[in-house]
């Protein structure tokens, strides 16, 4: 009984950390750009670094993958927007009047956050990267602890030490500190079992991104060479070096300016390319990689890629996608309840109070 009373007294003096812990620094905007010249060996090395706890280059790579691949970006946005576009509500733990009062306070605080949908979107970045972290900026208002802001923190500021403890690099402690309690919202996504650094869907699709990247580079080179007819210049055996140079300049100008002049004793012939089968090979590989990415991210391809499919198939695939949306909603709601609502209740009502729930309206109509 005495111990319980002591714990209650301690909870009354529980206060949040008011200052920013993982404040944005100038160097945070810079990247090592690991996707430049990416090879299978380099990709494997980046993954090994993440497996050992240093996920910096992996997180930078994942960020670049979204920037450079429009299809990948689109699929991830579709997955995230399926959640952020839903209405949500704060539900009291019970019908008790005090529980309802707590829920009303929590609802007011969450709704007071500017662009709460952006906060959800930041946390849903864990779908691709396995983990997403935002820092709670606490404030006071009328004797209550309130949420002043919630700021997204880049995944590269975090790492796992040799004991697999998640740490954050700060300006004062560049070697990292353990995350303070009730200060960060840490959303984890488990595309599969294992360490959080390996759980995001971008880890799964990284190889398809690499193969598609090779394919598109070769495709662009092919189009540059065979996209216009070969310009073959013919000159008279008695032509001077000056005539030959004039002919070469004319051939070059025909490729860039579509105009040129040549001596009257020379001739230019255009050779049309007929390598259509090569184009089909490049397009088929790129489309195959896109389809594999769609399967990994959305669980299907019919609603994300152009192509045939019966109404029944499309309906089945949409249901699979809805299952993912429901899972994303439940996971995000659980994270918000644990890392945001719980400390909000702790600081303002005490440790022994029951925590309200957050629920997204993710049920299909009809």
Q: Where are the domains of the chain?
A: 14-205+318-360, 210-306
Can you give the pLDDT at residue 294? Answer: 92
Separation of alpha carbons 364 and 366, rounded Å? 6
pTM score of the predicted model: 0.80
Can you give the pLDDT at residue 132? Answer: 96
Can you give the pLDDT at residue 297? Answer: 92
3-state SS, residue 267 = strand
Q: What is the mean pLDDT of each run of 10 residues along the chain (366 residues)?
A: 38 76 81 91 95 94 95 94 93 95 96 92 96 96 93 94 92 90 94 84 95 90 68 70 77 60 58 61 92 90 52 47 90 97 94 92 71
Can you give the pLDDT at residue 203? Answer: 94
User: Encoding tokens for residue 329?
Assistant: 């909603």
Can you give the pLDDT at residue 27? Answer: 76
User: Encoding tokens for residue 40?
Assistant: 């299978």
Separation of alpha carbons 109 and 106, rounded Å? 5
Can you give the pLDDT at residue 322? Answer: 85
Can you give the pLDDT at residue 3? Answer: 40
pLDDT tens for each residue of 266-316: 665 655 555 555 668 889 999 999 999 999 999 876 544 544 445 444 454
Output 11-18 pairs: Cβ under 8 A, ≥24 positions apart. Answer: 11/346, 11/350, 11/351, 11/352, 12/350, 14/346, 14/347, 14/351, 15/145, 15/347, 16/136, 16/138, 16/145, 16/182, 16/183, 16/343, 16/347, 17/138, 17/180, 17/182, 17/183, 18/138, 18/139
User: Encoding tokens for residue 356?
Assistant: 């309200």
Under 8 Å between Cβ of 259 and 253:
yes
What single-letter DSSP state applies at residue 54?
-
């Amino acid at each position: 009984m005495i111990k319980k009373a002591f714990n209650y007294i301690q909870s009354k003096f529980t206060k949040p950390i008011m200052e920013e812990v993982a404040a944005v620094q100038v160097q945070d905007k810079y990247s090592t750009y690991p996707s430049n010249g990416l090879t299978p060996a380099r990709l494997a090395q980046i993954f090994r670094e993440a497996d050992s706890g240093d996920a910096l280059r992996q997180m930078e790579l994942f960020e670049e993958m979204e920037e450079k691949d429009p299809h990948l970006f689109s699929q991830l946005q579709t997955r995230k927007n399926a959640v952020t576009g839903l209405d949500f509500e704060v539900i009291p733990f019970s019908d008790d009047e005090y529980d309802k009062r707590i829920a009303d306070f929590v609802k007011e605080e969450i709704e007071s956050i500017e662009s709460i949908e952006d906060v959800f979107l930041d946390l849903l970045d864990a779908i691709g990267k396995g983990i997403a972290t935002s820092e709670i900026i606490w404030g006071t208002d009328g004797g209550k602890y309130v949420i002043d802001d919630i700021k997204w923190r880049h995944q590269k500021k975090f790492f796992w030490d040799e004991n697999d403890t998640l740490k954050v690099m700060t300006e004062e402690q560049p070697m990292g500190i353990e995350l303070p309690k009730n200060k960060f919202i840490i959303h984890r996504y488990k595309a599969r079992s294992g360490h959080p650094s390996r759980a995001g869907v971008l880890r799964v699709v990284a190889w398809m991104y690499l193969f598609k990247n090779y394919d598109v580079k070769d495709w662009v080179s092919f189009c540059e060479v065979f996209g216009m007819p070969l310009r073959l210049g013919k000159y008279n055996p008695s032509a001077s070096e000056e005539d030959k140079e004039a002919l070469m300049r004319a051939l070059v100008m025909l490729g860039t300016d579509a105009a040129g002049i040549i001596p009257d004793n020379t001739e230019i012939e255009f050779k049309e390319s007929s390598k259509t089968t090569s184009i089909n090979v490049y397009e088929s590989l790129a489309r195959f990689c896109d389809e594999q990415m769609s399967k990994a991210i959305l669980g299907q391809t019919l609603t994300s890629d152009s192509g045939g499919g019966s109404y029944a198939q499309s309906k089945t695939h949409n249901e699979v996608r809805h299952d993912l949306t429901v899972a994303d909603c439940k996971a995000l709601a659980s994270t918000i309840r644990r890392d945001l609502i719980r400390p909000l209740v702790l600081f303002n009502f005490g440790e022994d109070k029951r925590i309200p729930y957050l629920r997204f309206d993710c049920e299909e109509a009809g």
